[in-house]
Amino acid sequence: MDDDARTTWQALSHGRRYLRSAWPWRSAGYLAAGALTGLPLLLVLVLLAGAGATLSVVLVGLPLLALLGLAGIPAAAVERRRLRLVDTEPAPSPHHTPAEPGLAAWARLRYREQATWRELGYAFLHGFLLWWVDLTALAFFLGLPLALLAAPLQLALGDGEAKIIKLWLITSYPQAFAIAAAGAVLLPALLFPLGSYAGARAALTRALLAPRERELKGRLDEVTRSRARLVDAFEAERRRIERDLHDGAQQRLVALTMSLGLARLDAPPGPLADQLAAAHAEAGKVLAELRELIHGIHPQVLTDYGLTGALADVAERSAVPVEADIATPLPRLPESVEAAAYFGVCEALANIGKHSGAARAAVSARHTGSALLIDVRDDGRGGADPAAGSGLTGLADRIAVLDGTLTITSPPGGPTVLSLEIPCPVSSPAATP
């Protein structure tokens, strides 16, 4: 086999080297295997279709017809493996992975996929037509010269006469050896069209069962879905941490602060009272820091009132006066989208307070029905550089995970405008803050 050839087509381009390689016999094996898979497939399709149509009048046949719709999946899997004989390029399954476990989720996804019906069409094509053509091509391109080569043997086994391929009657060994010589000349000549047909047959199989463009699109779609699942899992974990801190550590710290306050009141004046007062004050600071940390992990206002109330809240707490322009309450959006938008605005307003020297800022937000659009602008000095460690690079990455975009316009002298666009559906009606 040619080391640098990965398909029959490539091997054919090498001329005579093709004849010295294993590719002609791989092509013959591919076509022969087509008959081995085509006949059982034909029987299965006929039985499922016939029994399903006959018994459907009493509803018993409906499951058989439903099973017929999935019959192309195992057939296509076998064909993709058989394809390796003449095309060693990977031919992965075009099917997607179900988001949920279980047979029901798998079946629902398969019935919705175009690949399932494309594979079913190929199964009918292969079962009723292609394997017959494969067998005919194999018999002509390989069987014919081999039958001619076997003329002396046929004569020896035929009691003095033999009929070659049911056409020529021979009665002597000179005739037999002449026909065998013709077969020896014809065999290498016909191995080229044999390989050409096998290559074309494999190309048809790949186009229907493992198209490279669809494969790439399917993989990109799967990456997008898995990335979204990771974002959702990350947000769920943030919520869990916030809940644990709020219900666990914060409550214990509140109890500790109250105990220190009571002990401070009961202690007589002196060093012990001073230490208790210091400890009480320190516990109060830790409690305040913990509450701020919890708010930073996942603000409760975002959960209770949605993005409209959360943006109004962050605008009120900004170090720079902020004008919030939210014409109508925003609808409830997926948690990952709301969290990304909220922390994006928080990061933008924090940067304005630290770096811009702005006197005022403005936040506008609206939902177009298919995407969330947010603009944050300020009247500062401009010249914002995402590469300068302002946190905007991380924000852009977080928005990109949701297939969103972050755009910054910040000429020297200002103004600076940060725009977020996140594609998202509406999950529920608007929340009232």
Provide the pLDDT confidence category of residue 296 given band limits of 50, 70 and 90: low
Tell whether the model's pLDDT for residue 18 goes beyond 50.
yes
Top pLDDT among 229 and 349 is at 349
pLDDT at 26: 92
Top pLDDT among 300 and 403 is at 403
Judged on CB neighbours under 10 Å (0-12, 13-18, 19+), 103 is exposed
* Whether pTM exceeds 0.75: no
Pick left, alpha or beta for residue 430 (phi over 0 → left; psi -120 to 50 → alpha; otherwise beta): beta
Rounded Cα distance, 188 and 182, in Å: 11
Top pLDDT among 290 and 46 is at 46
Q: Which two tokens stand for residue 417?
A: 């405008």
Judged on CB neighbours under 10 Å (0-12, 13-18, 19+), 215 is middle
Q: Which of 22-26, 153-157, 395-399 has the highest mean pLDDT?
A: 22-26
Mean per-residue pLDDT, 151-174: 76
pLDDT at 201: 92
Rounded Cα distance, 165 and 154, in Å: 11
Percent of the chain whose pLDDT exceeds 90: 17
Per-residue pLDDT tens over the stretch 186-231: 889 999 999 999 999 999 998 888 866 555 555 556 555 655 565 5
Q: What is the CA radius of gyration of the chain?
A: 37
Top pLDDT among 94 and 247 is at 94
Provide the pLDDT confidence category of residue 368 given band limits of 50, 70 and 90: confident
Three-class SS string for 259-272? HHHHHHHHCCCCHH
pLDDT at 132: 93
Any idea what the Cα angle at residue 307 is, between residues 302 and 311, rounded to 5°? 95
| Beta-ladder partners of 362 | 323, 377
Tell whether the model's pLDDT for residue 126 goes beyond 90.
yes
Q: Which two tokens stand for residue 139?
A: 């018999």
Name which of 66-70, 138-142, 247-251 the model is least confident about.
247-251
Instruction: Return all residues near 213 (Cβ < 8 A) that are at least 6 apart.
Output: none
Average pLDDT over all residues of the chain: 80
Percent of the chain whose pLDDT exceeds 70: 82
pLDDT at 327: 63
Mean per-residue pLDDT, 246-262: 71
Rounded Cα distance, 104 and 95, in Å: 16
Rounded Cα distance, 79 and 274, in Å: 83
Provide the pLDDT confidence category of residue 124 given band limits of 50, 70 and 90: very high
Q: Are 135 and 124 in contact (CB under 8 A)?
A: no
Per-residue pLDDT tens over the stretch 308-347: 888 888 888 888 888 888 767 778 888 778 888 888 888 8
Per-residue pLDDT tens over the stretch 280-289: 777 777 767 7
Listed residue (299, 287, 393) closest to 343, CA to CA: 299
Q: Which two tokens stand for residue 386?
A: 């995402």
pLDDT at 2: 43
pLDDT at 200: 92
Q: Are 170 and 151 in contact (CB under 8 A)?
A: yes
pLDDT at 221: 62
pLDDT at 75: 92
Provide the pLDDT confidence category of residue 137 given band limits of 50, 70 and 90: very high
pLDDT at 433: 47
Listed residue (416, 328, 321, 334) closest to 366, CA to CA: 328
pLDDT at 247: 63
Instruction: Return all residues near 59 (Cβ < 8 A) that are at least 6 apart.
Output: none
Rounded-to-10 torsion of CA 246, 251, 252, 253: 90
Top pLDDT among 249 and 154 is at 154
Q: Angle between the 114-125 and 23-55 helix axes, to the nearest 10 degrees?
A: 100
The helix/strand/coil state of 397 is: helix
Rounded Cα distance, 89 and 203, in Å: 11
Provide the pLDDT confidence category of residue 156 given band limits of 50, 70 and 90: confident
Name which of 48-62, 122-136, 169-183, 216-230 the model is least confident about.
216-230
Mean per-residue pLDDT, 398-427: 81
Rounded Cα distance, 428 and 433, in Å: 15
Tell whether the model's pLDDT for residue 177 goes beyond 50.
yes
